[in-house]
Amino acid sequence: MKFIKKIFKVLFQIILWFFILSIGFTVIYRFVPVPITPLMVIRLYEQAKDEKKELRLYKDWVSIQKVSKHVPQAVVAAEDQKFMDHKGFDWDAMEKAWEQNKKGKRIKGASTISQQTAKNVFLWPARTMVRKGLEAYFTFLIETFWSKERIMEVYLNVIEMGEGIYGIEAAAQYYFKKPAENLSRQEAALIAAVLPNPRRWSPARPTPYIQGRQVWILGQMNNIKPVGMGK
């Protein structure tokens, strides 16, 4: 009996500390740039194991005010057109994805920008129920403690945009040799077009498929209201 009580006490302490740390870091990251993410560490480990690859980690945090206004508009058009209206979850898209998956059809994922931000900042890339559950929890936290502008700012600064390239500033410098605040509408749409698989596709060498996505994103940017961020 004492052993069982001890186990429950330990479990309670673990859960308590999990909530304290998770909420604490969420509040801290509302004001402080995210220094590194689990995915960055994983990618560095993968690079170290592969003798053919160099260790590469390009990232340069910039405020949302130092990002071209076309960039958040492009990623919203490409990834999450209800971003400014939902509370972290697009229930209609999730229901549609669930129904299509039951039929064996593969469609675009239903993850919102908020969910992607939560995953990138706090979690690891895996398709497990535990990871998805934690993703929902951290999505709720950032939607509670952060503004939409902060979510977008963090998203644009931590998202993977190529092999060892993270964030919009590093991507702008690497692919277009210019700061993120000077990206054109076409360049922003091209970067957004490769986000589903940035290690496979490159804005510097767009395939016909990526060029087609760019055109579609540019069209969608005409149909959505301005995100109201950046210059």
SS3 per-residue string spanning the chain: CHHHHHHHHHHHHHHHHHHHHHHHHHHHCCCCCCCCCHHHHHHHHHHHHCCCCCCCCEECCCCHHHCCCHHHHHHHHHHCCCCCCCCCCCHHHHHHHHHHHHCCCCCCCCCCHHHHHHHHHHCCCCCCHHHHHHHHHHHHHHHHHCCHHHHHHHHHHHCEEECCEECHHHHHHHHHCCCHHHCCHHHHHHHHHCCCCCCCCCCCCCCHHHHHHHHHHHHHHHHCCCCCCCC
Q: What's the order of all strands across the beta sheet hosting 165-166? A: 58-59, 165-166, 160-162
pLDDT in tens, 31-50: 999 999 999 999 999 999 88
Look at residue 100 in the predicted model and tell me its pLDDT: 64
Q: Which CATH class is domain 33-223?
A: mainly alpha
**pLDDT band at residue 97, thresholds of 50, 70 and 90?**
low
Supply the mean pLDDT for the chain: 90
Look at residue 9 in the predicted model and tell me its pLDDT: 85
d(CA 230, CA 175): 20
Determine the average pLDDT of the residues in 154-160. Answer: 97
Q: Check pLDDT > 80 for residue 230.
A: no
Q: Check pLDDT > 80 for residue 225.
A: no
Determine the average pLDDT of the residues in 128-143. Answer: 95
**pLDDT band at residue 154, thresholds of 50, 70 and 90?**
very high
Higher-scoring residue by pLDDT: 153, 225: 153
Instruction: Give the long-range contacts of residues 123-131, CB within 8 A, separation 24 or more.
Output: 123/38, 124/38, 124/39, 124/42, 125/39, 125/42
**pLDDT band at residue 121, thresholds of 50, 70 and 90?**
very high
Q: Check pLDDT > 70 for residue 106.
A: no
Radius of gyration of the chain (CA): 19
**pLDDT band at residue 102, thresholds of 50, 70 and 90?**
low
d(CA 159, CA 142): 16
- Hey, what's the torsion of the CAs at 160, 144, 228, 220, to 10 degrees? 60
Find the angle CA(43)-CA(47)-CA(51) to the nearest 5 degrees: 170
Q: How many residues does the chain have?
A: 231
Look at residue 125 in the predicted model and tell me its pLDDT: 87
β-pair partners for 162? 165
Determine the average pLDDT of the residues in 11-27. Answer: 96
Of 91-105, 111-125, 200-214, least confident by mean pLDDT is: 91-105
Q: Check pLDDT > 80 for residue 228.
A: no
Q: Are 224 and 81 within 8 A, CB to CB?
A: yes
Look at residue 10 in the predicted model and tell me its pLDDT: 87
Q: Check pLDDT > 60 for residue 108.
A: no
